[in-house]
Structure 1
């Protein structure tokens, strides 16, 4: 049955939805990955019946949220919890994030799944920026680090808006991160999130010059290599990531967070490769898992053949303003049947236009991502009707 999808210029185009079965098995299973460590940064499912406001406490559908994590674990993927994909700093408040961490970590133990959780300073958002000190930033990080470590999850030290606003230069970053790494119980993942994902992080590591910032970042790692499991780089610059990973100390991994260039970065070259911690692996979970298992056999061409066609969808979801990529991710989760509605924490379902959402559907359908193409078609038809597009 034909769908009429809106173009950016206001016209409609006819689209014939896919009728073939999914491109990869819907059910999970299979051996663990052997060549790469792979995390999917997972979204949260909002409670659509909660009486909330965009600036009020987040209301989460815990059953659906945890069920989605079990879906990712069933395919062998690790879960990167309470990251920007879960709307940290964009609707998900720290109190709810802490509960998310505790619940997901407990679920990971029950499911035998791997989990790493974001440690930030977002409890400082209600504090006037002018009054925040480095001591406040350290204390906020410590509070969150304790929650993650007590849950039994691995910690991911996320970039901090409060630190970006408070630090006077590279030395402040060296002091804060050095303090945290010295007290971390287990090796952590350091997360460098670029300003395209969060404009408040411009100038992170004490400089807007990325070469200078990279030197400071590497100085932090070099001073504490035994406390750094790896780094997650989200700068959307493949060559910069390659150059950076070649400078890492022995044993420190690079987890790509580049949602534009992930196939080539994970495949690697004769001097190394990146592991993965990606938001795009939320909607791509089963397909990404199949691709990594092909890579485990040494078949790089087969891996690229599976993953390269997904880049167009990823670049579409993560197009500027990149920080709103979560809207497309949740749309695809709804169309795939992982949740019963298309609403988001903070009302963020309104952050992308209907033409953007329609193109996301078209690209995902063309890739065979939907477990039930008919369900996806009917839900997309309902969304179009809600916007006034008669079929």
Structure 2
């Protein structure tokens, strides 16, 4: 059927929806690459919650989506920025999410890694009287690390807004991360999240210059290579990621977090490749898993043929301001039937415009990402009508 979709000019254009979805089978864990999908949370649409209230989560739908990802052989990266950490999901609810998801992973045999941060220091910060110190930052990290380790999940040490605001230079980063790595029970993943994802992380690792920041980051890893499973790099800079991964100590993996260049980075070159920990693999999960299975056979061209066409959608979802990509991710999950509503914690469903969402629908539909194209079309039509599009 024909939908009339709004564009950036304020006009409407006709679009013929796809009738058949992409056929992707569920399967065993992937072999040639370790692949995590950072997963979104499903809000409780009936909760009487204001945007700055603690998040109200639909636990059944949230865990069902994680089972969907595991069924395709993907790992789940839990309680990351895709799950709205720092943008609606506060630490007490994130801790509950970690415990529930880790238990679910154990029950189904799924792989899981969970975000460890310091957001309890900045949640509802205007009401906080005591200044944040490096000791307080270490303690906050330790509290969250204990929750993740007690749950049986792997830890991902996320970048800290509090540390970015408090650190006086590279030595403070070396001290805080060194302290955490020495006490971590198992090797962790270090996450370098760029300011395009979170403006509060500008100048992370001390220097504003990225080359100098890279040296500090590598110093942290070199001092504790036995405690670093890998690094997740989210800078949207493919060349910088390639240069960085070539300098990693032996045995330390690079997990791409580059939602613009992931096919080429995962495919790799004669010197190596990146594994993946990506927010865009939330909507792309089945297709991405199928592509990596093709790569498992040694067919790099076939892998690229499947995954390269997804890049326009990824670039659209993650366009500036990039931190609002979560809205498009949840929108596509609703259209795909993974949840019954388009509501987000913190009211973040309002963060993207109707033309942006319409283009996301068109790109995703063209790829065949919706298991039931008719349902997706009906839901898109419902959204259009709420905005006054009647034709």
Instruction: Pick the TM interval, shorter chain.
Output: over 0.9
How far apart in 2 are the matches of 1:378 and 1:296?
Answer: 37
* 1:121-140 equivalent positions in 2, closer than 5 A: 121-125=118-122, 126-127=124-125, 128=128, 131-140=131-140
Give 1:9 deviation, angstroms: 1.2
- Unmatched runs of 5 consecutive residues or more in structure 1: none
Whether contact under 8 Å (2:78, 2:115) holds in the other structure is: yes
Task: Name the counterpart of 1:196.
Answer: 196
- Unmatched runs of 5 consecutive residues or more in structure 2: none
Whether contact under 8 Å (1:129, 1:165) holds in the other structure is: no
The alignment status of 1:363 with 2:355, answered yes or no, reads no
The alignment status of 1:305 with 2:305, answered yes or no, reads yes
Whether contact under 8 Å (1:6, 1:354) holds in the other structure is: yes
* 1:61-100 equivalent positions in 2, closer than 5 A: 61-100=58-97
CA deviation string 1:190-227 (max 9, x = no partner): 00000000000000000110000000000000000000
How far apart in 2 are the matches of 1:32 and 1:354?
Answer: 37
Give 1:33 deviation, angstroms: 1.3
Please provide the CA RMSD for this pair: 0.8
Give 1:23 deviation, angstroms: 1.2
CA deviation string 1:170-209 (max 9, x = no partner): 0000000000000000000000000000000000000110
* 1:183-262 equivalent positions in 2, closer than 5 A: 183-262=183-262
SS at match of 1:284: helix
Task: Name the counterpart of 1:5.
Answer: 5
How far apart in 2 are the matches of 1:237 and 1:294?
Answer: 26
Task: Name the counterpart of 2:378.
Answer: 378
How far apart in 1 are the matches of 2:368 and 2:227?
Answer: 41
Give 1:22 deviation, angstroms: 1.3
The alignment status of 1:109 with 2:106, answered yes or no, reads yes
Task: Name the counterpart of 1:119.
Answer: 116
The alignment status of 1:45 with 2:32, answered yes or no, reads no
Whether contact under 8 Å (2:193, 2:233) holds in the other structure is: yes
How far apart in 2 are the matches of 1:24 and 1:296?
Answer: 18
Whether contact under 8 Å (2:178, 2:224) holds in the other structure is: yes
Normalised by the length of structure 1, the TM-score is 0.98
Normalised by the length of structure 2, the TM-score is 0.98
CA deviation string 1:289-313 (max 9, x = no partner): 0000000000000000000000000
CA deviation string 1:16-41 (max 9, x = no partner): 1011x21123x52x232111000000
